[in-house]
Structure 1
């Protein structure tokens, strides 16, 4: 109820923006692409052959020629060509270099050869000051070469051209789907004996029209998308609550779920969350994945039972000097060999012994003392 009350003012406006009750913009495009979810069933690649086979019917019913006569797809198409041109020149988008960085890496060896001597100035070496001086003295034409190489990627088409006004302005994901299907359709057309009247340009125009027809209807603004979002959060919360029973007894799944999780994050907003979680994206490279696995081993919680093989308990009855009788228990812990857990856990036998000596026995003795006090206070009638 709290989420619905907070989000009930979010609605879609005529310009496809999502605004609050006071007119403040929450999203410039609903869902970041402006699409109406119930209308997107034909925007999947598996539905593209159906659209291609019914091109004539769709063209007549959707008035494709009339739309194309009034729309100007060239602006969006030129923008996509600029994006693809930049991507072809920068295949490795993970390594982004600025103009000054490229210049400094190029002349770094020449500056080192000067053997500049002296202390640091303002925390920078004399070589760094020399590179800055050479960069500032560089002429405009030479500097423009480095700036051209370090030019950033153009903004997405949806961020520049509104999809409801400019035809062919689609998301980059849908553009890639169209490119992949165009290659597949062209190869099938070459192998087919029957020549199709549908050309590749017409096929792409049809898919772009289907995208534009799947946008939120600008003629019917005021859809309460905030309530939809609140219901989407609240509906699975009961299922999340039920899932906690399936994870009972599993230490790695000991996470607060369901309604208590929503209350902890949204309503209470506690600074000390009981089970904090974090999703960290990593680069898909061998070096990064190797470091992530090492970090995971370091952060994984290890329980004593996971490295313990067995415990031998020996009980003996003793009589003291003053003829007082007492029982003596001897505990012998047998731990698993290091080879059994070294691949999964960042742990050494020395770490286990240090934990046993500094923490475990203190916790054990404190628990025994509390239990002994509780047993001595209990009286039978």
Structure 2
């Protein structure tokens, strides 16, 4: 089990046969599919166990995931494409069909007036859907099919993607993943749960899934082979795209052979060539995909599934009907096989697309034998990657859980470990439980104001002074919430009564979102970071907007962070400049040149050994001097040995300068001599961000960089946490840990509440130095012997504890499980006495 939603309490219905069945909407939290999955069924026996299951573990109470405070349970696959088809403008239903659908969904109530009276009475799909919405529910959002037009036509949208619900009536927009989907925040479903409670939410989801199932049974939905065919026009476009791509690649090959190719900074000629070719090939595949999509309308089942968010992506459709594209291994084209070529079918060193694994065909037409072979090479890498990733991420999660399992919220609001050391003075700095929050916020002020405007009577707007006076009384709210409340209320022009009502509602929401004492926040944090780890990509070298910079991201970087490695695998710095240097590129370049490590090797054009004169002659390249703006004087001071100046930019060094008189050692010594810069910084990049020039570097040395003139030390940072801890202190390191870990998760498109990341950072830095999460850090220094032994190095821990005569206080989680007691977390943190009814002996 990866998170707490892997164990849930269901009501039993006894059905025939030996398998148990479940609702499709609860598959996402269990991560279950029907290809042979097995589950364990526990039947709680004691009164306490049954009560706990009923109060804490019911499915509808697990809808909001503690990972990001939004529903993890919701409609998937068929339900989404069905909801779209049902709520399209075109869908009109006869009385008989409406009756069938409502019977499917067990609807009891009035049926609205039909949309169309003549020739036959017909109801729209939107009306039928509206019957299941709460009567006073209002909501506005955009559907997944939204094309993000420059100016939104709102309810007159031609794609019908502006979802507007007023008074429980769906007025415009289609329902798809953005309205009822699982693992989406700010959906209709999310709002119903937050505003009306889990029971209403549970009934709503039950009814509409039944309704949609019924509708799809009547209508039918299939994806047939003839929907994969494209017109001749599209065929010809794709062919011309491929021919154009071949021409550009041919040009690149010619440029590479004649040496005219412009080298990318920090890449060799070969790497530059490969990067440029890969870009061309990727563009060709995307163009083919776009061509296909333009030829298909929203009548095509494949397009319906991808646009509504039910399943698949436009890439899948492009590969089925356009072109499969480049097969890659470790992010590069396929190179390995025979000597200098992939297969014996090609010439030596053939750099053309087909010789290195570009698949022209699409899946519909089938691949040639060679394409099939390359495709299976790319596919094998995917399988290996998945297998490696699951174990890596599983081990990371085990370490996280072990390090954090004994943390809990106490009655005074602090987060402490089992022996009472304080980890956080207030959980997440604001005491809000992410699973009770509204997508991370304690109070969704904007939503509250929008809702109160719909019900509010007209009147004079409250004055700013009145709002300030009222909000300032709420001293218990966090500062950020107070600021937001003031700003939003002033912009809202609500009446005095409206403001009072809104403040009451905000306070009520805030009280509800506070974390409960005894909550096992440590385990929640570990699960919320570990569970998305399995979905992360393993090998991601991503270029931060430019092809020059490699940064380790994804799962490897996350593991690196929780391991507190001494040096990251790709150290990088982001250097901000002071007011004078950040304005122009020229001044920024000057600072960048001071940083870059430059040796004599970088400016030498030729070295030859003259045994007659017993010297090594070194020639300097004037063009390189100019591009690096180095003066002759700098070169002369950089020489590590005595030298003679023979002529302009030509120097000689006597062979006697080296003990053994070996010219190779001598040229190496001279070449490695530093002219200027910081040794760790191999490459720099100046680029403009948010209107100012900044410098990105490969390699990191914070201490030296912040001494350099023109660097703004206050805003310069590195991804090496230990460096930050040594130079700026442990508090800065803690903030850097939060930022780094959260960035990795966000870059992978994973929504994780920052409070979980904060807790992990806080426990890593609580001793005043950055500790790893593992046996050499937090887990190895737990107070309990049994807890340490249960994790790793069992025998060493037990033996050393026996020698020292250590005592285990049994205050944590794992040690109590080992000895068979209940653990002091959640409901176990209070003693419970109960009588089982019946007569008592006086």
TM-score, normalised with respect to structure 2: 0.22
TM-score, normalised with respect to structure 1: 0.42
Which structure is richer in relative contact order (CA contacts within 8 A, separation 6 or more)? Answer: 1
Point out the structure with the larger helix share.
1
